[in-house]
Structure 1
Amino acid sequence: MDEARRAQMQKRNRRVAGGAFAVVFGMVGVSFAAVPLYDLFCRVTGFGGTPMIGQRAPETPGEFVVTVRFNANTQPQLPWRFEPAQPAVQLRVGEEALGFYRARNLADRPATGISTYNVTPEVVGKYFHKVACFCFEEQTLAPGQEVDMPLAFWVDPRIAEDPNTRGIRTITVNYTFHRSLHDAERSGALANAGPHVGRREAPTTTR
């Protein structure tokens, strides 16, 4: 084989190898990008009951009235008592409201938890707007420490215009506290969470 042909084949082999590596790295990149892209999709559309984030309530509330119920769950491995401070609130669509959850560390040592949340029915996720909350941030409580955790939110008036949601009068906010970020990720609870760009976290109040 002459030198020119050998050089041509080497060049072709390098090109094929480079293409193969590009495909492999591209597939890896897509796999890593899939989660944040899906998270962004959920935050923008409210898919899967993921509440909308970072939008201001309208200046004038609507006449449609909804009841927002508060539900609390705690992972068994987390030694906390976690519960809503009130069972429910009523508000007009477009009106900002405030609810509170309460957490207490029942252990004799500090314990750290992280909360995830969604709303049900899932179809109302795109109309439920969270202004401030305590979600997706680790919270460490000292032994016996009890804190109040506020949630500020509003419901989009367009919920009353959508044929799929205009008959809904009750929305349930579901919070679950996990022992750690790893536990939350392992359970799949953070699948729709994402980085939540633009969120404004509310402070907790020690009791």
Structure 2
Amino acid sequence: MHERQRAVARTTRRLLLAAGLMFGFGFALVPLYNAMCEVVGLNGKSSNLTGAASAPQESAGQPPGLGREVTVEFVANTNADLAWDFQPKVARMKVRVGETAEAVYVARNRAAHEVTGQAIPSVAPGLAAKHFHKIECFCFTEQKLAAGEQKDMTVRFRVDPELSDDVRTVTLAYTFFDLHKAPADAHAGHTAAGG
């Protein structure tokens, strides 16, 4: 009987170790996935290149004012766990390719306490992602809102003139997540599995 208890304890330790490793591996995959999406333009994620790579093409010999216009649509979503109102000030705008444009989103915290959120951007169609450059964006950093606080959040962007002429509309979507809620839930599940 004593040997059976040791075998059960050994199996339990192995299962807990395996669960812990899988949990850690899951968290390690998130930055890897984001990096891969950024590099290959998968899932509509765009490059955040700045500087020479995102400089307007006019400086490379393209006459100013001859760029075509595309419509950029703005979409806002929040994760179900985030008690924020989040929306763009304008739903769409026409922008000239190669020129810098600016859009503003508004976020309001409905919770009775401070909440820290992180916006995850997505660009559609996926082929347009590598031609959509965010120069400044609220999605680059965490956003903290006090209880009841409302804040304007700006994104400055440029659509590359190399965007295919077939693409006439580009959609920029953001989903805000509660930075502290997701890890806490995952940790609670891990603790329950370990107990």
For normalisation by structure 2, the TM-score amounts to 0.68
Deviations 1:75-116 (A, max 9, x none): 121111100011111111111100010001112211221110
Answer yes or no: is 1:169 the counterpart of 2:168.
yes
- Tell me, yes or no, if structure 1 residue 46 matches structure 2 residue 45: no
Q: 2:29 and 2:145 mapped to 1: Cα distance?
A: 34
User: Residues of 2 paired with 1:58 and 1:64: CA distance?
Assistant: 14
Greater fraction helix: 2
Separation in 2 of the partners of 1:181 and 1:119? 25
Query: In structure 2, how many angstroms separate the alpha carbons of the residues matched to 1:35 and 1:111?
Result: 22
In the other structure, the counterpart of 2:102 is 98
CA RMSD in angstroms comes to 2.8
How far residue 144 of structure 1 moved from its aligned partner, in angstroms, is: 1.1
Q: Distance in 2 between matches of 1:41 and 1:51?
A: 11
Q: Does 1:118 align with 2:117?
A: no
Aligned to 1:178: 177
User: Where does 1:24-103 land on structure 2 (aligned, <5 Å)?
Assistant: 39-55=34-50, 56-58=54-56, 60=58, 62-103=66-107
Distance 1:130 1:65 in 2: 17
Is 1:117–1:174's contact at 8 Å kept on the other side of the alignment? yes
- Uncovered stretches (5+) of structure 2, i.e. residues with no partner: 1-25, 59-63, 186-195
Bigger-Rg structure (1/2): 1
Task: Quote the offset at 1:57 in angstroms.
Answer: 3.0
Name the counterpart of 1:153. Answer: 157
Number of the residue aligned with 1:140: 144
Task: Give the match's secondary structure for 2:118.
Answer: strand
Aligned partner of residue 171 in structure 2, secondary structure: strand
Displacement of 1:182: 6.6
Name structure 1 gaps, 5 residues minimum: 1-30, 161-165, 187-207
How far apart are residue 33 of structure 1 and its match?
Answer: 8.9
Please say if residues 114 and 181 of structure 1, whose CA atoms lie closer than 8 Å, have aligned partners that are also in contact.
no
| Aligned mates of 1:170, 1:148 — CA distance in 2 | 24
Contact 2:75 2:88 in 1 (8 A): yes
Counterpart-to-counterpart distance in 2, 1:36 and 1:103? 25
State how far apart, in whole Å, the 2-side matches of 1:32 and 1:82 are: 26
Count of aligned pairs: 152
C-alpha change, 1:148 and 1:171, in structure 2 (3 Å) is same
Residues 146 and 63 of structure 1, relative CA distance in 2, 3 Å threshold:
same
